A and B are shown apart, each in its own frame.
Chain A
């Protein structure tokens, strides 16, 4: 099922294996850091699912199973790089420094965004599939015109890879040699649609047809994802143009909390992927090769629990915004219909008009 060209540096059992083009450059401390990232993001995801089940979130898009892909990619970025995510990139957002409570604002239905995209150099979520790939290429064209050595990375899934915007972004990136990395998480399922319906060839093989390299990496191997992404970003910054990375992974949970995967996929498949878990293999490596003690893993778990506790408190404290806020930032300049709506809302007593 998995292409023989898959880049892997760490097996599901946590054994290092060699690859002709890539080797891990990470220190034990860095690997432990990635482990911590993945544990925290999984904890964040589980807490958010609970919050949704308890009626505290309108929706949640679980990231469980994709932590290796997202942390590996997120940690390969330099601070000045810019990222354009879809709506499931909680691990990438974590790497960019977006506070967990800000990630949940959109799911608490108190905003359509959630954080300052320029502050974290991580754009606001894009819900219409694939739109963000074009924004990334446009931003990268701006980077070129500024003569800056920055790379841009955009995230989308196997489902979105069928969207015209994603394919148009491939054309544009190739034609203008844009410093952009397309990071496709092939998590095998677009809600109920298998990735085999999206593409008759492995997704990474589409790239050469557009004129730039594509590479498939074991998305559950954070070491391999990091190295593959880092090289693609370096290439972009050096003016060598775009790369498509297909991170081969699996969506362990539902598409969102509104979804029921038991209707379209079998347990046996999920079981297979459980053995390819991105976190367990790193834990095995750390314990064996770096003699990381059980107490250290316990400390990481405790830190994740503390984060989850704070996240829960922050979310519960998030009340609905003043209705008058719907009129803010619709336009940059004054607009008569905005003023009219604002006036009416105040007259009706729906809002006191406070900012």
Chain B
């Protein structure tokens, strides 16, 4: 097994490089992705190696980035769109929801919308407004779309390739605060399917589910809990639409206690969906109501105070205390 250590940013870059090598119909399009390599350097060097026709520097209009990718998909191309930051995806929202999500259906299956919309999401990088949002639920609720999120370099490397190869449109959420953290990448074979949830740490007392940047925070909370004699089972949801409930149900049947962690606010969120669905499926196994640890119901705050907004180890442990506090 050939493993090599690299950052998530490099893993995405290498994954995109392989996708471009494997299929001549794969294109990249986004703002500043050519010479600059993207504001996060995810596409660094790719335009130089694959040319301006395949790694396309786009004029500054998100709706057009996605809208022209739709036309390219109808022509048989697979475009990976880079939206520069989460908060800039809304100009493209109409194309994503009205066209990308619905054209396979409207054309009676004739059109294949095999395109990927990469979305650096979540906060934690000390940015100004519109650069730290968690818009995943908007897309997860729309039939026709799939939404995934990576949390490790290995997943980033493989999931981006799997997403490019998939025939459905995929919103690919990248936790930008983890771009620069290193991890082992297995260059030979993918660890999981694109839509699998994965147990990152086994435990007995409480099942804690998260995705993206939250996964590492939960793992840190699990370390602390361990030292306090509590055993947390940590699940990385990875696929937000559809949800892979199997491993979550198995886990809850063991622990009977559920905490879900997300940076998005509670209302109508993935966390809400997970708690509701898992309560339906695991009602007789549950020993406490599922609790969500989320961002607050406020616009993403100025980043000097973002740590008080984002789920922290302390808030996760507090939620663990609360679910443990219910008598069984």
Interface residues, chain A, CB within 8 Å of chain B?
A: 84, 111-113, 116-118, 123-124, 126, 128, 131, 133-143, 145-146, 164-165, 168-169, 171-172, 175, 328-333, 335-337
Contacts and interface: CB of A to CB of B under 8 A. Distances in A.
B282 interface: no
Interface in B119-170: 143-144, 146, 166-168
Interface string B93-119: 011001100111111111111100000
B287 to A, nearest CB: 27
Contacts of B172: none
A128 B98 contact: yes
A115 to B, nearest CB: 9
B68 A175 contact: no
Interface centre among B64, B91, B143, B245 (most CB of A within 10 A): B64
B33 to A, nearest CB: 15
Contact of A124 (B94, B106, B114): B106
B78 to A, nearest CB: 11
A135 B71 contact: yes
Given A175-B59, A330-B105, A335-B242, A134 B168 contact: no
Interface string B28-40: 0000000000000
B63 A164 contact: yes
A332 B94 contact: no
Contacts, number: 134
10 contacts: A118-B110, A123-B107, A131-B98, A134-B66, A134-B95, A138-B67, A142-B74, A142-B75, A169-B67, A332-B168
Contact of A135 (B76, B99, B245): B99
B88 to A, nearest CB: 14
A135 B67 contact: yes
A59 B166 CA distance: 37
Contacts of A126: 99
Contacts of B144: 330-331
A124 to B, nearest CB: 5
A145 B99 contact: no
Given A142-B72, A333-B168, A335-B242, A168 B63 contact: yes
Contacts of A133: 67
Range for the number of chain B residues in contact with chain A: 35 or more
B110 A116 contact: yes
B242 A337 contact: yes
Contact of A172 (B64, B70, B75): B64
Contacts of B245: 336
Contacts of A172: 59, 61, 64, 68
Given A169-B64, A330-B104, A138 B71 contact: yes
Contact of B74 (A139, A146, A333, A335): A139
Contacts of A171: 59, 61, 64
B310 to A, nearest CB: 29
B228 interface: no
A128 B168 contact: no
A101 to B, nearest CB: 15
Contacts of B106: 112-113, 124
Give 3 nearest A-B pairs by CB, closest first: A138-B71, A134-B67, A142-B75
A355 to B, nearest CB: 12
Given A165-B67, A337-B143, 16 more contacts: A112-B106, A113-B106, A124-B103, A131-B99, A134-B68, A135-B71, A138-B67, A139-B74, A141-B68, A142-B77, A165-B64, A168-B61, A171-B61, A172-B64, A329-B105, A332-B112
